[in-house]
Amino acid sequence: MESTTTLNGVDHEIESSNNTSIINHNDELSNENIHSCDSHENQSTIKLDNDAELILKLNNLLLDDQTDSEIYFHSYQSENEMSSIMSLISGTLSEPYSIYTYRYFIHNWPDLCFLCSNRKTNELIGAIVSKLDLHKKVLRRGYIAMLAINEEYRRKKIASKLVLMSIREMIKRGCDEIVLEAEVTNDAALNLYENLGFLREKRLYRYYLNGVDAYRLKLWLK
């Protein structure tokens, strides 16, 4: 587990992404010694373009955000947005988080918190909270802790765009890999991340407070 608090992935109703994978998988086996999930016994490595080309690809995928008449995407700005973020996430995800959990992530990595709001009302309708730090003093590992979308705005690819924004910023900061957890029963979340290139690394038994297992998903960037 990435922090002292059990963190959720994304809610069951978040839309899946269609063919927006930012990476290509090859058939070589990974050198990393891991306990693979049943459907990924032979873990693949990922072949990437250089960081500049990958960032350009992400920019192209996100271009249409600028012309949407109903919503707009933006980064976290101040503590004034904290209550809206907490309200959205607590009303969407299945596990409760204290204000200290939110502050741990957002205060330490404010540039890895991205939001989506209604252009007319400024209502917060989507949020992603992530972090980036050293893993085992070797790898720069990104971690997607929370992703939530207002139910009325789902199936508009807001979730996939927020994830892409987070990935793009992590790449700019020299990230080597990105991980997260999602409930094994959450098909929408699994489809979303796997369509973006994440692979199931391992199964975590009874990971959540409700007793449900989780898959740990990973995106290799190096």
- Per-residue confidence (pLDDT) for residue 57, from 0 to 100: 72
Residue 79 amino acid letter = E
Residue-range domain boundaries for the chain: 57-178
On whether the CB atoms of residues 11 and 93 are closer than 8 A, the answer is yes
CATH architecture of the domain with range 57-178: 3-Layer(aba) Sandwich (3.40)
**Which of 17-31, 48-62, 173-187 bottoms out in mean pLDDT, i.e. has the lowest?**
17-31
Start-to-end C-alpha separation, the chain: 22
Q: For strands 139-149 and 177-183, give the pairing.
A: parallel
Give the largest Cα separation in the chain, rounded.
Answer: 50
Predicted TM-score of the model (pTM) = 0.78
pLDDT of 24 over the 80 cut: no
Q: Mind listing the pLDDT tens digit for each residue in 155-203?
A: 888 999 999 999 999 999 999 999 999 999 999 999 999 999 999 999 9
- Per-residue confidence (pLDDT) for residue 48, from 0 to 100: 45
pLDDT of 29 over the 90 cut: no
Q: Which of 6, 12, 8, 4 lies closest to 191 in space, CA to CA?
A: 12
**Which of 65-69, 95-99, 129-133, 199-203 bottoms out in mean pLDDT, i.e. has the lowest?**
65-69
> Which residues is 72 bridged to in the sheet?
117
- Per-residue confidence (pLDDT) for residue 86, from 0 to 100: 97
Per DSSP, the residues of 172-197 read HTT--EEEEEEETT-HHHHHHHHHTT
On whether the CB atoms of residues 154 and 136 are closer than 8 A, the answer is no
pLDDT of 30 over the 80 cut: no
Mean pLDDT across the stretch 144-149?
A: 96
pLDDT of 32 over the 90 cut: no
Here the tokens at position 119 are 């252009």
Going 191 to 192 to 197 to 202, the CA torsion angle's sign is negative
